[in-house]
Structure formats: structure tokens, C-alpha cells
A and B are shown apart, each in its own frame.
Chain A
Amino acid sequence: MDAALLRLLAMRMRGGLRLRLMQLVSLRGALLFIALGGIIWLLIASGQLDPTAQLFGGASLDSQAIRAEIETFMPLGMLGMTLLTVLLSTGPSFHFSPTEVNLLFVGPFSRRDLIIYKFIAYAAGAALSATLIAPFAQSQTGSAFSAFTATFLTLLFVQLNSAAVGMAWQAFEGNRLARLKWPVTALVCALALAAMIHAWAVPDRSISGLISDVRHSWIGTIILMPYIVFAELFLARAHFPDLALWAAIAILINVLLLRAVIKLDRRTSEFSLREDTRLSDRWERMKQGGSFWATERSEIPSIRSAPTLGGLGPIAWRQAIKAARNSSKLIVIFIVGAACAGPLSSMAGVSITGKHGLLMLYFFFGFSLPRTLICDFRGDLSRMETYKTLPIAPWRICLGQLVVQVLLSYVIALTMIVSLLLFEDSLGAPVALALAAFALPLTLLIYAVENTIFLLFPAKLVPMGRADFEFLGRSLIEFILKTVVILIAVALAIGVGVFTLLTLGSTLVLSGLASWVSLTLIAGLAMIVMQFAFRRFVVAEAFD
């Protein structure tokens, strides 16, 4: 590879390190780093991040059971990722940024050099990720070194495999047989679904047993051969000969894939360029608070007029349009996922209303969903100037911003409740009704708190590369803060309900109603605080 590219890599890595150190020098950066480090240390010390501590049950899985799970599910999961790459990928996954296109593509470098440059950059990132993951995986692999080796080589494989598969598919796409992609996919999915339903319905059979049978059949072993190598890396009992042998095979596979990528790149270079531009546009849009999945069509029918509703209408209307055009696929995925919660928990024999199930639900509705589906102030940092100059009362703007976000999240919650009601034996209709009633004020509270924090301390929604500890620390602290507020609110609401029950001695309905009214009032109070945060938001200070 050209020495200049190596030098550039070294300078960029040094620059990245310098940026992190500069973050540390600031008081905010140092505090967030200490907070993040402290929380992670506490989690490790308390064993919460120990992979042997399972989420679904009180007892920990034994080491042998985890080994069996890795051996069975990891190769299948990796094959699934490869197939998804073929189905969904729109291009090769060696992505060059616009800066690299402008500076390196016009420079005296061959495409081979540029691919290797990109691969080394990715390998450096993978090494950093593996370093961060190793402490948590070492209890499974036996040592930090083996955890690092397994993680590093697997991350490289995932990248190279998806690039090679994506490029091979692009090269093949002109072929007549490529048209069979979706019919074949539909057929395979139908067969898989039929097999799963059969396994579920027949006594003494289970879906996990079926998957295990497929994985350990001779045909499954042949198909999954390259992926099994990477599962074996995590299962190696000793550094030598187990780990050394599997690592050597893994390195060989990665080298072959890199060669394939370089060869295939000649046939797909123009397509790659188009894909680079498309991806860069998406990331730019994300940095501006937009969605990665936004529509890429250039012309769509305009909706001629917005509802007024005293100022609340146009704001909610804008967010509704944004959700429909930018996040429709995401919303469908979440709704389908929520609808599957009941059947999946039933098939897996896991009670979603148990302690761990509820924790997972809270993590989903309190962290994952708000971080992924964004149709409120958090996606509008670059448009705050516009909101500030609108002749609409701040409370209407705030409410308008939250309406769509809250309703969408509520629809997802309702879908999940209905799904659980149908498939979960422990969930009766009265409990489901109560959950549906409480979900609305709780959702409003979650997003009011989320937006208040954002308006008081505006920040970017995407991390600046790997190991952006300021971003990670901030996300974690925000989540903890939000959890504390919600716990207090729920405790107060329950307290009011219990007080009503004790003093009036009436039915549970009245105390439940008292709790619901309390929670709704607290959510309303959070809206007032959010309005205050919006009023004191200074546009000029938000951009540094």
C-alpha cells in the first residue's frame, strides 16, 4: 500500500485520539467520562454484565449451556446476516466519505490501495471495539486475550463478508437468475415458518430444538462451515492449540475475503461511488437530526394545506409528515416486532410480565424506542430557530412536537399489549386494560422528560465514531435521570392509589383511577417544565 495512505491513517488515528483527549480536558467531558467509567465499573463489579447472568430467569446459565447456545446460534445468526445483506443491501459496505472521495480518489492511488487503506481503518476500529468488548466476554472465553482475538477476527469477518457478498450480488444482479431473488426468499421464509409452526404445535418439539437440529445436520454443517470457525473462536478452551488453530483459519478466511473484495471492486467501482454518495447524504441528514431511513425519492405528492388548530396543528402535522416519509419502515418494524412479542414469549416459554420481562420492556420503551424513532424536538436541533420565530404559543409548539411521537409509541405499546393478551396466559383482560390506560400518560411522561433534557442540554444525536465516551456517558446519564423521574412519578401514582384504597376502602377501580389521574397530572407537569425549557432555549448557544 502507498506509504502516504499509511501516514494518513496514522495521522487520522492520532487526530481521533487528540479529539478524545480534548473532550476529556473540558469539565463536562471529564465528568461524563468519570460517570460512564463508574457505571461500567459498578456493572462489572456487581456481575450485571456477566454474560452468564441470563435475563429471562433468576438462575444463571451454566457454562456448558452457554457454549451450546454459541455453537448453535452464532453460525446461524451470521448466515442470517449474510442473507440479509444480499436481500437488503443496496451496495458494497466499504464506504468512502465525501472527503475521502474528493481527496483520495483524485490522488495518485490505485483502487487496490484505497480498499486496503479502508480495510486497515476498519481493522483499527474493530480492534478498538474488541478492546472494549473483551472485558465483558472474557468470563466466557477464559481470558481477555482470547476474547479480544475472537471478537476482533469476527468483526473483521462480518465487515469483509458483507462487503464481498454485497459486491458479488451487485456483479450478479444483471443476470436473469437474479430476478428469482424475491420468489426464492418468499419460498424459504414460507418453509421456515411452516417448520416453526409445526415444531410449536407438535408436543415434545420446540423451535430451539428445530434450530439445533438444522445446525447440527450434515447439510447445516456444510452450509455454515465458514461461520462455525468464528463460533469456535469463542469456544476455544486453550490458547494453544485450540485458539491458535481456529484463529489461523479465521485469518485465512478474512484474507481470502479481502482478495475477493479487491477483485470484485473492479466490477462495482461506479456503483460503489453512487452508494458512497447515498450513504453520506444519509449520515449528513442524521447529523442534522433527520432519519437514516428517510425517503430518497426526489418528488412526492405535496399535501396542500396544514390543519391550524390554534397553532398546534401545523407543528404536529409537520412531525406526522416527517414520520410518514422518514420513519415509515421503522414504524412498521416496531409494530410488527411488538405484535410478535406475545407469540415469541409464548414459544420461548418466557413470561414478559415477570421481573426481567418488565425490565426489558422498560429498556425498550424507555431507551431503544426513543433513541431510534425520533419525531420531536430532538430531531429538530437545526430548525430551532424556526420554532423560536413562529407566532405560536410555546405550550402549543411543545404539545404539537410531542403529539405524533407519543401517539406512535402508544400505538406500538398497544400492539404489544394486545399481542401479549392473546398469547400470554398470565395476562388477563383487566390487567391488559389497565396497562393500556396507564401506557398513554407514561409515554407522554417519558417523552416530556426526554425533550426537557434535550432542550436544557442540547446535543448531537449520533456519536462521533467509536469510543465517543462523551456521547455514551451522556446517553447513560440521561437514561438514569429519566428512569429516576419515571420511578418517582410511578411511585407517587401508586401511592395515591394505595391511599385512596385505604381511606375510601372502595374497589380497585377507584384507586386505579386515582393513580391514573395522578400519573396524567405528573405528565402534564412535565409538559409545563418542558415548555419552560423551550422558552429558555437559546439558539445561538446550541451550536458550538
Chain B
Amino acid sequence: MTLLENPPEASAPDRPVKANWFRLLLADPAAFVSALILLLVAFVAVFGKRLAGDSAVTGDLSLSRLAPFSLDHGWQYVLGGDLLGRSLLGRLMVATQTTMSVVVPVVLISLVIGASVGMWAGYHRGWRETVAMRIADVVYSFPSLLMAVVVLYIFSPSIASIIAILAITRIPVYLRTARAESAELQTRLFVDAARTFGTPSGAIIRRHIFPIVLPTLLTVATVDFCYVMLAESSLSFLGIGVQPPDVSWGLMVAQGRDQLRTQWWLSVLPGLAIVITTVSANLLASWVRIATDPGQRWRLTTPRRRRRAARPTVLETT
């Protein structure tokens, strides 16, 4: 939270009345680059398998252990080859698809379930709130990996069971956020007004509470995207996540581990892909946090020169 003692004048002439989202994004170069990187990741996740073609599946043994950063064997081998002469870049692109096909469903499922139950519990208060929160506490107070370990032992690790277990462990995050906001919102006047008109509670939650909670939930989801990605790659790295012949970034780091002495890139580069993606998502999340908060949006809309002048009056309180 930021407390402004002296906010810059809101009606400065050179400032657009309503800043659009694209301009807000351009105002933060780091967030802009992050958004581009995430778009690239999304593009590769969708089309990567087609682009990589055969080079990711059938190896050319003459290119085995090819060192990275040379264009001699075509763009596919720019990141080198693995033990079987498969292109590392091609495998990375295929892995993007697997990783995203775990991470995106997990984030969506936990967001939808957590947000609906959380808003419902916060709106009604009473026993519904207590029961929902107790269950969330139990799930949350336990290390997620420990739970995943037991479940993935009993149900053999498949993409569906990884999605299920990761989604369950992440639901409490959204549930808590949604409940807190909705419990506060349901005491407000406009909700009272809707109630007086006889609006059913489901419609109030959908029409009046959901739109206000959504920005917060999206910020949480962006940060959680990183968490889920790290969790998926940890499981795959440990051998209880994505299983060969499927390939994910975490699994690639694990597979390259034995060749660390001779071919460091097999392990180091897939990990770097994870880091670049998570850093981008985190930077974008901090932009979303500022852009959706009317109290802080001036940081993006005010020109840098004036911003610097305004900065000393900002008192950070957390």
C-alpha cells in the first residue's frame, strides 16, 4: 500500500483523461518486454510442435553432443543437440507445450473453483464461511509437495493427475483472497441496494461482487502461474511428474543432469527457459498490481521527469 502525502495534480493538461491499457504497458518497459516474452511462450506452446518438426523426435546421431550457439546445422540446432542428436531447441519447444498444458489448466481450475467458493463463502458469512475456510486452512497448512508425493504414488503420474493435485493445493490461495474481498464488499451500500430490489444472491455475486474482485484475482493468478510452473517442474525433475517420452522443462533439466560434466547446456538451458518465463510473469504481475490500483496508477501515467519529482513525498507503508 502506498500513502501519498502529495499526489501529483490529477488534472494536469498533458495527461490523457482515461489512460488505455496499452499505453500503461508501454510506460513500464520491463513489463512490456515481459509481455512480449510471455506472448512468445504462448505462441510456442501452441505452434511449437509443428515448428520443431522431426528434429525434436528423431535424432541425427552425427549431431550428437553438438555444442550450442552455432548456426552451422540450421536454426534448429542453435542451442545444440542432446545425446541422441535431437535438437535441444526443438525439444524445448515441444516441452513448452507440455509444461503449459499442465500449468494453464491448473491456474484456471483453481482460479474458478477457489474464486466461486470464496465469493460465495464471503457473501453469506456464517457457517458456510467457517466450513470453507477450515478446509482451505487444512489444505494450505500442508506442504504441497508432500501431498503430491503421496497422491502421485497411488495414482501413477499422468498429466491429468498432476493437474488435479496441483489444482487442489492452489485452490486455497484464491479462496482466501476472494472470501476476504467479498466479505468486505457485501457490507457496502450498493450490495444492500441490490438486495433491497430482491436480486438473488447468485446474481449479486456475479454482477456486483465478481467485477470488483476480478483484478485482485488476476494479479494473484499471475503470481501463482510462477508457483505452479515451479511446482510442475520440481515434480517432473524428481521423476514423479511428466513422464518420458513426454518432455517438460523440469524433466529436461533432470535428463541433462548426468551429462553436466560434458554437455552443460542440456541441463542449464531448459532451466533458463523456466527462469525467463517466471521472471516475466512476476514483472508483469507487479505491473498489473500497479495498473489496476487507481491509487498507484499515476506512477505509469505521469511522465518520468515529474515522477521523480513526486517520489520523495511517497511514504511506503506495508
The reply to whether chain A is a binding partner of chain B is: no
Listed in ascending order, the chain B residues whose CB lies under 8 Å from chain A are: none
